[in-house]
Structure 1
């Protein structure tokens, strides 16, 4: 399957994946708040939990857990570990360290029999999905939807279907694009709240698919310093609630010749999150078509890929 076709195919699976998460019976546990951790897409899932829980949970790197485990376990925190296949070494190591000091850990994974599943106290099973290419989309949605469920958020499937249809059908419009998407050499995503989680995930997909630099910033951070580092070959993507946030900057960006696009959503937090993710993937799809890629760029980086894979996964 070509990469461009794969992205659209995965977007079309989102509704069913979310519905599976809605129907999943969660363990009867009372979560007070604490730390969530993962790596890659799983860290993006932890970030999603952070914002959907209104900061009751905070997303951290698993190495942070490992280094500070003794002190962390003196606090009455809940710990949630994300790993879709349950094979990320440092996530599993962090869980084992937490258990060693007497902490209880909830694991979100599609594989209960995985090293992560066997290490945690409680397992929350994410929906299993087949992905034809190693660019996680439906697997990420499966974890993020479970994160939403764990916060107690209700998910309106009728509204969800409308949002997904609009996100899929609307064309991607990029302002100030002088020539072609192939002239863009960097992505800068600007957002707030749950849009930061959507932006982080979107950046990961640009890294994987195009090997393109991508960074994500809160809107306020953009105004303080980041704006001065934006070049004309950068594309700025705004995930925002208020169109005025872009209007204030549009003249400046136009005068500087900086291309930008934006996604506006005023829905509930989970719907907003999904809107940003789907539109981010649609933008990625346009880039993949422009570059004519059949498969993710990172798969060509064999020397790096083969060296790092055993370091990351069991």
Structure 2
């Protein structure tokens, strides 16, 4: 597998602690009160995490949603998270908010792309865009940038978070034949959204991200013996995750409880992000895959590209 696309992805995953540590000290503009973070796909997960980590001080929107209610952005700064800088819905939303938002800022790795041309300012991510890969470093850099914009200065031991995730990923049971439900509360629900995306992209398996509380109200009633439930148990003072884990396991269902490894909130977020990458990659490696599923899903990629990107 030396030199395979999957190996390259795993190498990029392993490089994250050093690259994130370098970017942590780079100054960025700060969000003003009431700012909005907008993103699609992985970037939506980054926007959603930022909303929660700010304590609701900032909002998170899907780009098509904000396009349909531009008045929500009136007088606010709007940060568009798009690594490629070519996402059609972001470009359309940025154009729609011209003269409505106070400022439109792109968080992107593409300073010459159409989104960068449309907005008022950019925060440049130190990432060289790669085609047909499951977003790993691109996501964590965008997440870190959004958190810096929203929260200001903070500390994070990325290496410690990564090492802990390498150990914990062995406990994350991804279903081979059913659906993998990934649950989390507060900001780790946003990381669960990202985690489900990595199961889709790397393995092509069924997955679903849900709020920890909501699962017992809804998805639980479609749970099958072939499914698995992964619980990110941070931001869970009532220990709902532990109770659910015990209840499921005692009745013969497959469930994994993944506790946070550190009291540092930022480190916890990146721990779960790394775990969300490492678990499906480990399964892909064990199955002998040479590339992430999405790289070979040509018909689906054609549909995806036609829907997502400004060509």
Q: TM-score, normalising length from structure 1?
A: 0.88
| Match among 258, 261, 270 for residue 263 of structure 1 | 258
Residue of structure 1 in register with 2:151 after alignment = 152
Change (3 A) 1:132 1:123: closer
- Separation of aligned partners in 2, 1:222 and 1:206: 19
Q: Secondary structure at the match of 1:113?
A: coil
Cα shift readout 1:169-203 (whole Å, capped 9, x = no counterpart)? 456125xx7xxx66442110111111011111111
Asked whether the equivalents of residues 129 and 138 of structure 1 are also in contact (C-alpha less than 8 Å), the reply is no
* Alpha carbons of structure 1 residues 80 and 165: separation in structure 2 relative to 1, 3 Å: same
The answer as to whether partners of 1:39 and 1:62 remain within 8 angstroms in 2 is yes
Q: 1:218 aligns with which of 201, 211, 214?
A: 211
Structure 2, gaps ≥5 residues long: none
Secondary structure of the residue aligned to 1:267 is: coil
Tell me whether 1:227 sits opposite 2:220 in the alignment: yes
Matching residue of 1:68: 69
Give SS of 1:237's match.
Answer: strand
For 1:270 and 1:131, the matched residues in 2 are separated by 27
Q: How does 1:111-190 map to 2 (within 5 A)?
A: 111-129=110-128, 131=130, 134-157=133-156, 159-170=157-168, 172-173=170-171, 183-190=176-183
Whether contact under 8 Å (1:86, 1:109) holds in the other structure is yes
Equivalent residues of 2:175, 2:227 under 8 A apart: no
Which runs of 5 or more residues in structure 1 are unaligned?
none
Distance 1:303 1:293 in 2: 19
**Aligned mates of 1:249, 1:45 — CA distance in 2:** 26
CA contact (8 A) 1:43 1:61 kept: yes
1:23 aligns to what?
25
- Residue 32 of structure 1 is matched in structure 2 by 33
CA contact (8 A) 2:212 2:241 kept: no
How far apart, CA to CA, are the structure 1 residues paired with 2:169 and 2:81?
33
Match of 2:45 in 1: 44
Measured against aligned partners, the alpha-carbon deviations of 1:77-124 in whole angstroms (never above 9, x if no partner) come to 221101002110110110011014454211101122211111111211
Q: Aligned pairs, how many?
A: 305
Q: For 1:258-277, what per-residue CA distance to the aligned partner results, in whole angstroms no more than 9, with x for missing partners?
A: 21212211522221111111
Q: Any idea what the Cα deviations from partners look like across 1:26-48, whole Å, max 9, x if unmatched? A: 13x55112321111111122112
Equivalent residue for 1:12, pick from 14, 19, 26? 14
Change (3 A) 1:184 1:197: same
Which of 195, 208, 231 is 1:202 aligned to?
195
The answer to whether structure 1 residue 280 and structure 2 residue 282 are counterparts is no
Question: Counterparts of 1:225 and 1:52 in 2: how far apart (Å)?
Answer: 26
Distance 2:175 2:83 in 1: 32
What secondary structure is seen at the aligned counterpart in 1 of 2:171?
coil
Which residue of the other structure, out of 211, 232, 248, is the alignment partner of 1:253?
Answer: 248
